[in-house]
Amino acid sequence: MSMTRLKMAGRTAVYHCISRVVGGERLLDEVCRERFTGMMWRMAGFCGVEIITFCIMANHIHILVRVPSSVGEVSDQELLARLKLIYGKKDIPVFLAERAIKERGKIDDRLREAWIGRMGDVSQFMKGLKQRFSRWYNRVHNRYGTFWAERFKSVLVEDRHSCVEAVAAYVDLNPVRAGLVRDPKEYRHCGYAEALSGNKLARKGLLSFLEEKKWDEAAASYRMRLFVIGSGAKQYGKQELTREEMRAVLAQGGQLSVAEVLRLRVRHMSDGVALGSRAFVEEVFALNKEKFGAKRKSGARPIKALASIGLASLRDLRVRVLS
């Protein structure tokens, strides 16, 4: 199935977005990751989308984002504030908006339509973010040409506590899977570490799916998910299983905790197209049935390694599912 993106128009939707640097080059150094993160927060503010969590690696990015069902009413003053987030205070769009308000008492309808048309849409958010970063990178490094390997991939995620939590943990555990750190709080370029450092937007993103409403309680709960709990490593008399040991346990039909499985690379998280309960995936399939072959009669495909939380995906992945 060549299709990589689906959307749920007219309703709030969560997307796990992934994009890779061209040629797999490790171009995102410390300075670039800091710059990209700042651009991401500002672009999210302009587009009116919510960053749940994220992870910026050397050659690829993960962003888990919640997109509202509609843009809603945006006043001229709110629109001006959003423009300043991505253009600064003196760029032409801000100048045009301020002049229109001063001279005619409102921003021209044509300009409003163009700017608001870029809001409340995952594609516009990712396109704007990646383009702005590419221009900055090429200018600073005296470089030209494409920076990203593709537009972006995304998995549509059911906006349900256990589903969003599983994907969020998977995103925040990227540097652990890569062997860069043993604890995601030590990797400053992920949502979990930013939340622990006091970033209010990062904390708001994690609080949006955790059952606890106070940050201290929510942080403790989420940290438990990130590490081995339940029927995990302690069951085998070890503090922590290696990835090879975890794969062997799964291959033999053994059970691992969700936290342990998420320390492996689960392809459904990046290639599953839609992820959630069986009912959610079937709904997505029904709404997009024309995009699939005529022989396909159902949508949901269970993710055996994550059966304990009832996750299913739209793609039936069989090759290198866990690595």
Q: Number of structural domains, the chain?
A: 1
> Is residue 217 scored above 80 in pLDDT?
yes
What is the mean predicted confidence (pLDDT) over 90-111?
A: 93
User: Is residue 221 in a domain?
Assistant: no
Q: For residue 152, which phi and psi values (nearest 5 degrees)?
A: -175, 155
User: Tokens standing for 138?
Assistant: 């090429």
- Helix-helix angle 92-104:109-116, to 10 degrees: 140
Q: What is the pLDDT of residues 101-157, one digit of tens each?
A: 999 999 999 999 999 999 999 999 999 999 999 999 999 999 999 999 988 999 999
Q: Identify which of 14, 23, 265, 29 has the alpha carbon closest to the alpha carbon of residue 150.
A: 23
Q: What is the pLDDT of residues 227-239, one digit of tens each?
A: 754 334 444 444 4
Which position has the higher pLDDT, 315 or 102?
102
Which position has the higher pLDDT, 318 or 232?
318
Distances (CA, A) of 178 to 125, 172, 221, 243, 265: 27, 11, 24, 11, 10
Spatial distance between the Cα atoms of 166 and 316, rounded to a whole number of angstroms: 19
User: Is residue 8 in a domain?
Assistant: no
Say which residues have a Cβ less than 8 Å from residue 32's Cβ, sequence separation at least 6: 137
What's the confidence (pLDDT) of residue 239? 45
User: Is residue 107 in a domain?
Assistant: yes
> Is residue 203 scored above 50 in pLDDT?
yes
Q: Identify which of 253, 278, 250, 252 has the alpha carbon closest to the alpha carbon of residue 264.
A: 250
Instruction: Map the chain to HEC letters.
Output: CCCCCCCCCCCCEEEEEEEEEHHHCCCCCHHHHHHHHHHHHHHHHHHCCEEEEEEECCCEEEEEEEECCCCCCCCHHHHHHHHHHHHCCCCHHHHHHHHHHHHHCCCCHHHHHHHHCCCCCHHHHHHHHHHHHHHHHHHHCCCCCCCECCCCEEEEECCCHHHHHHHHHHHHCHHHHCCCCCCHHHCCCEHHHHHHCCCHHHHHHHHCCCCCCCHHHHHHHHHHHHCCCCCCHHHHCCCCCCHHHHHHHHHCCCCCCHHHHCCCCECHHHHCCEEECHHHHHHHHHHCHHHCCCCCCCCCEECHHHHHHCCEECCCCCCCCEC
Spatial distance between the Cα atoms of 275 and 176, rounded to a whole number of angstroms: 23
Domain carrying residue 85: 76-116
User: Is residue 95 in a domain?
Assistant: yes
User: Is residue 98 in a domain?
Assistant: yes
User: Is residue 104 in a domain?
Assistant: yes
What's the confidence (pLDDT) of residue 254? 56
What's the confidence (pLDDT) of residue 243? 63
User: Is residue 320 in a domain?
Assistant: no
What's the confidence (pLDDT) of residue 294? 76
> Is residue 215 scored above 90 in pLDDT?
yes
> Is residue 277 scored above 50 in pLDDT?
yes
Does this model's pTM top 0.85? My answer is yes
Handedness of CA 279, 281, 284, 289 (dihedral sign): negative
Spatial distance between the Cα atoms of 311 and 317, rounded to a whole number of angstroms: 14
User: Is residue 109 in a domain?
Assistant: yes
